[in-house]
Structure 1
Amino acid sequence: MTYPPRLSDEQYAALVSDIKDWQITHGSLLKLVHTDEENTVQCQPVGTTFFPTLFPRALFDEAHALQTAFNKLYAAVAEDDEWLLDVLRDLIEVDDLASALWEIYSEVKEEGFVQDLTLGIFRSDYMMHVDSKESLRRPELKQVELNTVSCAGGVHTNIVSDMHRHLHRTGAYHSAQPPNSENLITRSSDLPPNSTLKTISAGLAAAHKAYGPAKSQGVTETCILFIVAADNFNIADERPIEYALWDESIPSYRVPWGHEVLIHTSLSPTRELLYRPASRSNAMEVSVVYFRTGFEIYEYDDIGRMGRLQLENSRAIKSPSILSHLTGFKKVQQALTAPGALERWLTPAEASMLSRTFAPMYPLDDTSSGQHAKKLALDPETASNYVLKPSLEGGGHNVYGAEIAAFLQHTPEELWKSYVLMEKINPPLLQNFMMSSRGLYEGPVISELGIFGVCLWKRVQNGESAQAEIVSELNPSWSLRTKDASVDEMSVVKGYGCFDSPALVDWDVFMSAVKA
């Protein structure tokens, strides 16, 4: 059995043309922001696969079923500042971003919280894993990471998923070359619809509704603020969310990070966040602040810190809050894999369900676990089975395999504790065609499934501690990214990875395709 289907040269040429037309007409694009042209918009297509990539239906369903427990876990951790400080203390000492975020949180806490609600827009990323010693076994899900801030790619995947479904219904995937192998994409239910745009916008709308009417004297209207990067190449993944909110009569505005925040927003005496758009004479009250940037240390100069502090000090619902932002750090992910850690917030059944997806992770500190990890990392032979990860967002910062030892030897040892060591995930290899800024590719690929979880929770004070109470929760949605199996990075922007969608198949079909 062969997948993808074998097409003729003419069919492939037509498929490439159809994909390019879809990308142009549906905004599957990255904006080129540093150009000399004033009277045009320059952009390039987002990387995409030609065909949906095979994915076991059972694992796809399992990943969705896990998200409710992950929502509960990360909401609870985001309200447990005592536990977070204990986990992040070493990192705060050496990592400027962690230090900046914790300082802002400490100032807000000292001032006193005026908003108990937080909106979580999470993306839990998984890869399939097969034990290298038992290659004939069915793969299982292993979590790569859980993202809590600026979870991108949802709209891009939505567009690519719709494209694959369209190409399927037009017959573009039907092979005319004999011998024709079994057509695995035989019915539309094998290509699950993607609703990530609707899910994210509905989550923001729910938070907006929960905020209620304007509370500041003399202000009658509320709005949502998107905090974005100034030179934003990824507007096609952000703007549709704004447009969807406007379609629901929810005013939504973009404010670039930093100086623009201080120019256009202010706090009322009772700490409502007021926004003055250039198109209006009257101020609006901000119901929700949605961060699509703010995860790089260079953003936290004096102006950036002042802007984030003002937003955090306000009555607006944050997505994410400072503490929720911090829960996305790799040190937190590593700490949650420790035996018994999850039971602090979850039932034994929930903890067992989530822990099965954890790959072994270790700190690089002075604990016994950290000393063990250092031995693994400094030996090129054992290090070949690991990835060294810093607590940074955005990809491209990891160190892989045999390169780890040399990297650590050239890094001051006091900085090692800002890294975690994670055992490599060993995914099965599949076949696909990809088109990206690096050109056309045909060959083995690896996929990463992202599950978007959206929930609104309330901080409930219990003496000196606080707990999270889930107020509302949406059905999860998904994204899929696929890369050339020979490269380590999944970055779509750099052309290594592409947006994709799954062709859901039963185990026998999937295992047959992997063996082939």
Structure 2
Amino acid sequence: MIYPPALSDEQYASLVSNIKDWQITHGSLLKLVETDEENTVKCHPVGTTLFPTLFPKELFHEAHALQKAYNKLYAAVAEDDEWLLDVLKELFDVDDLASALWEIYQEVKEEGFVQDLTLGIFRSDYMMHVNPIESSHRPELKQVELNTVSCAGGVHTNRVSDMHRHLHRTGAYQPLVSKEAIISSSSLPLNLTLKTISTGLSVAHRGYGRPKSAAMTETCILFIVAADNFNIADERPIEYALWDEEIPSYRVSWGHDILAHTSLTPTRELLYHATSRSVAIEVSVVYFRAGFEIHEYNDIGRMARLQLEKSRAIKSPSILSHLTGFKKVQQALTIPGVLERFVSPDEAVKISRTFAPMYPLDDSLSGKQAKKLVLEPKTARNHVLKPSLEGGGHNVYGEEIVAFLKRTPEELLQSYVLMEKINPPLLDNFMMSSRGLYEGRVISELGIFGVCLWKRVQHGESKRTEMVTELAPSWSLRTKDASVDEMSVVKGYGCFDSPALVDWEVFMSVLEA
């Protein structure tokens, strides 16, 4: 079987034109913020695939089924500060972001916590993996990472999924020569990520309840965003959806604006002082879409995060939940026996199947094994070196790791982990992005959005988590040129996509074609 279908030049030109119109009319755009022109909004389309990419139905459903266990795992880790300290303490001298976040957490802990609820908006990213020794076997899921802060792309992929479904029903994917169709309307899953995220924020807002400060009459959700934000099309629709539910939602830029427009009451309610309002409004939920890069943590940035963390507002994420997204945590969870500290043995087995081998770069036996692997070119090419940084463009791949290790001080390597490269199957697709038009081999990454509200329950010296609400997971799909290592769509490395779910027989026959 051959996929994507062969289209005539006329069909192909019409498809591209229809996609461009869809992107303009549905906000599949990135804002160009560096412009001096008034009364003009400059933007360019977000990268997208022309066709949905084939994906095994069984693996798609497996990833969804796993998310409940991953929610439970990361909620439990986020409440275990002793374990997190043991995992992250070696980072504090070499990773400024880790030390800044931990120092803020310690200061809040000393004053005492006034909010036991936390909202998790997670995205667990997977790639299909084919064992290079047994390449005829079916691919399996391997986790790339689990993101716990500012999980982006949900709205963009929602729009692209809707676009692919529309193009299919209009016949845009129908080849001139009638053949057995590989995809159908039922093979294109509905994407509800925008609704999932906005509903999660709504649930947390209602979980906060009525204003706690006697002087307040209503509450709001506060979006913490980057100044000069180019990715508003992935954020604003969430805000608009909340307003449609009569939930006031406001945006405040990271840093000085937080200190200028918020304040704490003596009992630590967070008040938002909007320029458009004559009176303050109490904040129920703080939703971070900024605050995950070290340059944001100057003196002002630290004061701003501290003020938010000290408050009674529900955080998404809390500062400990933020720290669970560090690569060192992901690596530590792969150590045999660790998962059972947080989840049941059955859940631990299911989760561990998705782990690729990971190693620290320290003086432990595992660390020494890692250094041996990357100093040998033959084995180095099968690995990737990962720092605890968000977004694409930071990893070091294959034989480049050797040169990187030689020029990097030994103590700085503590912040990196070594991961065995995932070996994904290669499919075909067309892509439109800031890099231009592309036709050829592609690799996809499936992201599963998990949204849950949990409560910290204290029993003497011990703590546990109690799930208050857990929503059905949603998904994203990102696809890139197979020759490119990185995946970040907004940085031009890949495109948003949607899966065409097929049975194993169809998927394997396309791979072998």
When normalised by structure 2's length, the TM-score is 0.99
- TM-superposed deviation, 1:379: 2.1
| CA shift digits 1:268-312 (9 cap, x unpaired) | 010000001111001100000000010100000000000000000
Identity among equivalent positions (%) equals 81
Question: Which structure 2 residues correspond to residues 482-497 of structure 1 after superposition, within 5 A?
Answer: 482-497=479-494
Aligned letter for 1:87?
V
Q: Kindly provide the amino acid, as one letter, of the partner of residue 420 in structure 1.
A: V
Query: Does residue 440 of structure 1 match 2:437?
Result: yes
The residue correspondences of 1:196-211 to structure 2 (distance < 5 A) are 196-211=193-208
Aligned positions of 1:216-255 closer than 5 A: 216-255=213-252
- The separation in 2 between residues aligned to 1:93 and 1:107, in whole angstroms, is 18
Map of 2:257 onto structure 1: 260
> Which residue number in structure 2 is paired with residue 173 of structure 1?
173
> The residue matched to 2:92 in structure 1 has which SS?
helix
Amino acid at match of 1:449: L
**Ranges in structure 1 where 5+ consecutive residues have no aligned partner:** none
Whether contact under 8 Å (2:78, 2:320) holds in the other structure is: yes
Say if 2:21 is the partner of 1:21: yes
Q: In structure 2, what residue type is equivalent to 1:321?
A: S
Corresponding residue number in structure 2 for 1:95: 95
Give runs of aligned pairs for residues 143-222 of structure 1, distance below 5 A: 143-176=143-176, 178=177, 180-185=178-183, 187-222=184-219
1:515 Cα deviation from its structure 2 partner: 1.1
Q: Which amino acid letter does the alignment assign opposite residue 96 of structure 2?
A: D
Are 1:394 and 2:391 an aligned pair? Answer: yes
Q: Which one of the candidate residues 451, 454, 457 is aligned to 1:457?
A: 454
String of CA shifts for 1:415-460, please: whole Å, max 9, x gaps: 1111000000000000000000000000000000000000000001
Give distance in 1, aligned partners of 2:248 and 2:125: 31
Structure-to-structure mapping, 1:333-412, within 5 angstroms? 333-412=330-409
What is the distance in 2 between the residues matched to 1:494 and 1:92? Answer: 29
2:414 is aligned with 1:417: yes
1:93 match: secondary structure = coil
Question: What residue number does 1:118 align with?
Answer: 118
Q: Kindly indicate whether the alpha-carbon contact (under 8 Å) linking 1:228 and 1:255 is maintained by their aligned counterparts in 2.
A: yes
Q: CA deviation at 1:345?
A: 1.1
1 CA distance for matches of 2:442 and 2:164?
17
Give distance in 2, aligned partners of 1:243 and 1:464. Answer: 42
**Aligned-partner SS, 1:338:** coil
Residue 354 (structure 2) pairs with residue 329 (structure 1) = no
**In 2: Cα distance, 1:350 partner to 1:122 partner:** 18
CA RMSD of aligned residues (A): 0.7
The alpha-carbon deviation at position 414 of structure 1 amounts to: 0.7
Deviations 1:212-248 (A, max 9, x none): 0111121101000000000100000000000000000
The separation in 1 between residues aligned to 2:398 and 2:39, in whole angstroms, is 47
Give the secondary structure class of the aligned counterpart of 2:93: helix
- 1:235 and 1:462 mapped to 2: Cα distance? 42
- In 2, distance between residues paired with 1:335 and 1:171? 49
Rounded Cα–Cα distance in structure 1 between residues aligned with 2:491 and 2:258: 29
Give the aligned partner of residue 79 of structure 2: 79
Cα distance in structure 2, aligned partners of 1:486 and 1:300: 35
C-alpha distance in structure 2 between counterparts of 1:485 and 1:182, whole Å:
27
Q: Give, as a single letter, the amino acid of the residue that structure 1 aligns with 2:472.
A: N
1:305 alignment partner in structure 2 = 302
Partner Cα distance (2:376, 2:65) in 1 = 39
Match of 2:58 in 1: 58
Tell me the secondary structure at the aligned position of residue 286 of structure 2.
Answer: strand
**Mapped partners of 1:391, 1:379: distance in 2:** 24
Superposed displacement of residue 395, structure 1: 1.8
- How far did 1:382 drift? 1.3
**Secondary structure, counterpart of 1:466 in structure 2:** strand
Q: State the alpha-carbon separation in 1 of the partners of residues 323 and 421 from structure 2.
A: 24
The equivalent of 2:502 in structure 1 is 505
TM-superposed deviation, 1:394: 1.5
What is the CA-CA distance between 1:182 and the residue it aligns to?
2.7
CA deviation vs aligned residue, 1:73-110 (integer Å, no higher than 9, x gap): 00000000000000001011210000000000000000
Find the aligned partners of 2:377 and 2:460 in 1 and give their Cα distance. 50
CA distance in 1, matches of 2:264, 2:164: 47
Name the CA distance, whole Å, in 1 between partners of 2:88 and 2:382. 26
CA displacement at 1:380 relative to structure 2: 2.1
- Equivalent position to 1:471, from 468, 473, 476: 468
Structure 1 contact 2–182 (Cα < 8 Å) conserved: no
SS at match of 1:262: helix
The range that moved more, 197-206 or 32-41, is: 32-41
In 1, the alpha carbon distance for the partners of 2:392 and 2:76 equals: 26
What amino acid does structure 1 have at the position aligned with 2:411? E
> Quick one: distance in 2 between partners of 1:333 and 1:55?
25
Instruction: Compute the displacement of 1:22 (Å).
Output: 0.1
Q: Give the structure 2 partner of residue 47 of structure 1.
A: 47
Q: How many residues align?
A: 513
Contact 1:28 1:236 survives alignment (8 Å) = yes
Q: Which amino acid is the alignment partner of residue 67 of structure 2?
A: Q
Contact 1:380 1:404 in 2 (8 A): no
* Cα deviations by residue, 1:393-423 (Å, 9 ceiling, x for unpaired): 1221000000001001000001111100000
Given that residues 5 and 181 in structure 1 are in contact (C-alpha distance below 8 angstroms), is that contact kept between their aligned partners in structure 2? no
> What's 1:5 paired with?
5
Instruction: Tell whether the 8 Å contact from 2:392 to 2:491 is kept in structure 1 after alignment.
Output: no
Aligned partners of 1:2 and 1:181 also within 8 Å: no
- Residue identity opposite 2:58 in structure 1: A
Q: Residues of 1 paired with 2:105 and 2:462: CA distance?
A: 15
How far apart are 1:131 and its partner, in Å? 0.4
Greater mean deviation of Cα atoms: 253-262 or 458-467: 458-467
- How far the C-alpha of 1:465 sits from its partner, in A, is 3.0
Which runs of at least 4 in structure 1 moved beyond 6 Å after TM superposition?
A: none
Amino acid at match of 2:95: D
Q: How far apart are residue 116 of structure 1 and its match?
A: 0.2
Q: Which amino acid aligns with 2:327?
A: K
Distance 2:124 2:235 in 1: 19
Mapped contact 1:80–1:465 kept (Cα < 8 A): no
Q: Which amino acid letter does the alignment assign opposite residue 331 of structure 2?
A: Q
CA distance in 2, matches of 1:310, 1:452: 28
Distance 1:92 1:515 in 2: 49
Alpha-carbon distance, 1:181 to partner: 4.1
1:53-86 CA deviation, whole Å, 9 max, x = no partner? 0000000000000000000000000000000000
Q: Deviations 1:353-389 (Å, cap 9, x if unpaired)?
A: 0000000000001111011111112222211100000
Residues 458 and 471, structure 1, Cα contact 8 Å, conserved in 2: yes
CA contact (8 A) 1:33 1:231 kept: yes
TM-score, L = length of structure 1: 0.99
Q: Take 2:384 and 2:489, find their aligned partners in 1: how far apart are those partners?
A: 20
